[in-house]
Structure 1
Amino acid sequence: MRSTRLDLALETGAARLPEAGDILILRPRAGDDLSALPKARLRVVTGFKPDFDWFSRAGLACATTPSPAAAALVCLPRAKAEARALLAAACAALPPGAPVLVDGQKTDGVDSIYKDLRGRVAVGPALSKAHGKIFGFPASDALADWVAVPQQVAGFTTLPGVFSADGPDRGSALLAEVLPPKLPGRVVDLGAGWGYLSHHILLRDGVKELHLVEAEAAALDCAKANITDPRCQFHWADATQWQVPHLAGAVVCNPPFHTGRNADPSLGQAFLKAAARMLAPDGTLWLVCNRHLPYDPVLKAAFHNIEEIGGDAAFRLIRASHPKRR
């Protein structure tokens, strides 16, 4: 869908790019077709490790933060605060007047962003195609107040766009309440976010080593600010692929189940399989998940012992121990 709109914009002249200089592509998603653009000049900017790895394997230069360039394409995310921050970051990396292209789906709020921009910059006409829009505007400092600024929530640092940026989510709070008074020496917080569960893990006796595994670089940066305990090790990684250097006694997990806007239970299922792989033979998974998610078959295939230990109308709390070895 993105490639369809990009091709149309370039073919019709609605989007014009400079003949030289780097072109930043901010927050594309794995699978996005960028072949309409000159590959040698592209610089993918994303803090999401699976997307970073996908574009790196495709032979594109990748970074987690923007660098000076001649033009930019911003691929709008779902979160409006994050979208605004990306637009401000694109402008800050470009010289005044350089082209900033914006592409997004209607379901991700592209119409709202277009309306917001029209009151601030000289935004061009929008082309509609494949349930989305693409348009452009010249870079300026008019969006400086949209720059992502760390915020303090319940004593923790968060950033726009990270999961549960406005405070601890209900599922994590429920899981923190049922963690036992004592945990094994080596623990993994799988999908650690900005560190809420890690904070509670470190309050338990017995923990000597805590691995925070998080795919979103911005969230992991927040976790580093929130958790300064020397027992911690931070890993920017795809949680479904990462493996702890030595098997862990416990994994604590509130796995994601969305890919972009769409629910994707297979993502959470991959987290559960990964947790089983990184646990010692007598290890335990402490899990919170939405009640409607089809996790039971995966848990039964991966663990000998499974017990529901609490929850509420929306969430289940599960303790699964003794992973099965194939």
Structure 2
Amino acid sequence: MRSARLTLALETGAVVLPDAGSIVVYRPRAAEDLSALPKDRLVLVQGFRPDHDALAAQGYKVGIAGGAGHAAAIVCLPRARAEARALLAEAAASVEPGGLIVVDGQKTDGVEPMWRDLSERLAVSATLSKAHGKLFTFAAGPGLEDWAARPTEIAGGFRTLPGIFSADAPDRGSQLLVEALPTDLSGRVVDLGAGWGYLARAVLERRPVKRIDLVEAEHAALDCARFNIPDERAHFHWADATRFRLSKPADLVVCNPPFHTTREADPAIGMGFLQAAARLLAPTGVLWLVANRHLPYDRGLRTLFREVEDIGGDAAFRIVRASRPQRAGGTSA
């Protein structure tokens, strides 16, 4: 665990924090134990809304960007290589020249190849190993500028960023759902887990849609969606989809729900999206869903909706049309 490595590094002197100044921590998860660090000096950077809110509720100062002028940085290495590189470049720019940067990650998330990549560019410490992961340090300075996050334009004129889901192309499930959607959609639509906007743009091409609410937990993905959908009918919400509320019930929900936030699959995450869809829809509303075939959603769908039918897909994905929600009309105050 990260806390075990940080504690060991501090106790053995492998990491010596500066006596003064702020310490920026990139992408800590909600369950992280940061008690070995001086809480009053920490600035946490987390763009994933559930983790952001949970950390803020614990009393931490949390933002979506690191800023500049920090005395030190700690990078919690993500699995996506491009995102990890971008975080390291941001950390190097956010800390005063010569300041301490600590890199911590699991072996399964690529900490060892990242150490090798950095060693080819900078002076990097030896690694400290514990709890199936490694920790190492380097000094802030130039040399990682080309690793900084830059928007990429993919087919269809969409803009994406490193680390967001399906950054290189629309995923196959979303493509299948777009192909299955009727051409005559109308009313108020919600896209739960909207990502960078692929589904939402396709929905808006089907007039007479009056409004679409894009709900996305990852701030960077939602920023891309804002760029990709310059349509006044689109409304953007940085929010946990499972807790999202509307002022008026929706006529339609489209959804390609996630089923993991770590390496392990967790169908309960997707079920949370289906429960949210049923809550948000009007009594006559319809959910259009794409999901991996191996995920056990059938019982939940039939509990939440009176009518459920499989209408297509392929060997890996299924397209489901579910209507007449049994828990409908979730609204906000």
**What's the TM-score, normalizing by structure 2?**
0.97
Match of 1:137 in 2: 138
Q: Cα distance, 1:7 vs. partner?
A: 0.1
2: distance between equivalents of 1:145 and 1:245? Answer: 44
- Find the residue that maps to 1:8 and give its secondary structure: helix
Structure 2: how far apart are the matches of 1:59 and 1:183?
44
What secondary structure sits across from 2:243 in the alignment? coil
Amino acid at match of 2:178: A
- 1:149 and 2:176 equivalent? no
1:24-173 correspondence to structure 2 within 5 Å: 24-68=24-68, 69-154=70-155, 155-173=157-175
Structure 2 distance, partners of 1:12, 1:51, is: 30
Question: SS where residue 88 of structure 1 aligns?
Answer: helix
The percent of aligned pairs where both chains have the same amino acid is 61
| TM superposition shift of 1:11 | 0.4
Q: Secondary structure at the match of 2:324?
A: strand
TM-score when scaled to structure 1? 0.99
Distance 1:213 1:298 in 2: 22
Question: 2:222: which partner in 1?
Answer: 220
Contact 1:305 1:320 in 2 (8 A): yes
Amino acid of the residue matched to residue 278 of structure 2?
A
Q: Tell whether the 8 Å contact from 1:26 to 1:86 is kept in structure 2 after alignment.
A: yes
Match of 1:210, SS state, is strand
Partner of 2:19: 19
Structure 2, gaps ≥5 residues long = 329-333
8 Å contact from structure 1 (residues 303, 322) kept in 2: yes
CA distance in 2, matches of 1:58, 1:103: 22
* Partners of 1:302 and 1:324 within 8 A in 2: yes
Deviation (angstroms), 1:205 = 1.8
1:310 to 298, 312, 317: 312
CA RMSD, 1 decimal: 0.8
Which residue number in structure 2 is paired with residue 282 of structure 1?
A: 284
Residue by residue over 1:21-80, the C-alpha shift from the partner in whole angstroms, topping out at 9 and shown as x without a partner, is 110010011100000000000011011101100100000000000122110000011100
Could you report, residue by residue, the CA deviation over 1:208-255 in whole angstroms, capped at 9, with x for unpaired residues? 111000000000000001000000100000011111221100000000
Q: CA deviation at 1:100?
A: 0.4
- Note if contact 1:288-1:318 (Cα within 8 Å) is conserved in structure 2: yes
Residue 319 of structure 1, aligned match among 311, 318, 321 = 321
Q: How far apart are the structure 2 equivalents of 1:240 and 1:4?
A: 32
How far did residue 166 of structure 1 move? 0.3
How far the C-alpha of 1:297 sits from its partner, in A, is 1.1
Supply the distance in 2 between the matched residues of 1:294 and 1:245 (Cα, whole angstroms): 31
SS, match of residue 263 in structure 1: coil
Indicate the residue corresponding to 1:207 in structure 2.
209
User: Aligned AA for 2:243?
Assistant: Q
- CA apart distance, 1:184: 2.9
Q: What CA deviation, in whole Å up to 9, does each residue of 1:230-283 have, x standing for no partner?
A: 001000000111112211000000000112221111101111011110000000
How far apart are residue 140 of structure 1 and its match? Answer: 1.0
Q: Pick from 215, 233, 236: which aligns with 2:235?
A: 233
Aligned length: 326
Q: Return structure 1 stretches of 4+ with deviation > 3 angstroms.
A: none
Deviation, 1:179, is 0.7
Deviations 1:87-106 (A, max 9, x none): 00001111111000001000
Which secondary structure state, in structure 2, belongs to the residue aligned with residue 44 of structure 1? strand
Q: What letter matches 2:63 in structure 1?
A: A
Query: Contact between 1:108 and 1:261, CA under 8 Å: does it hold in 2?
Result: no
What is the SS of the residue equivalent to 1:98?
strand
Query: Which residue is 1:266 aligned to?
Result: 268
Q: Indicate the residue corresponding to 1:243 in structure 2.
A: 245
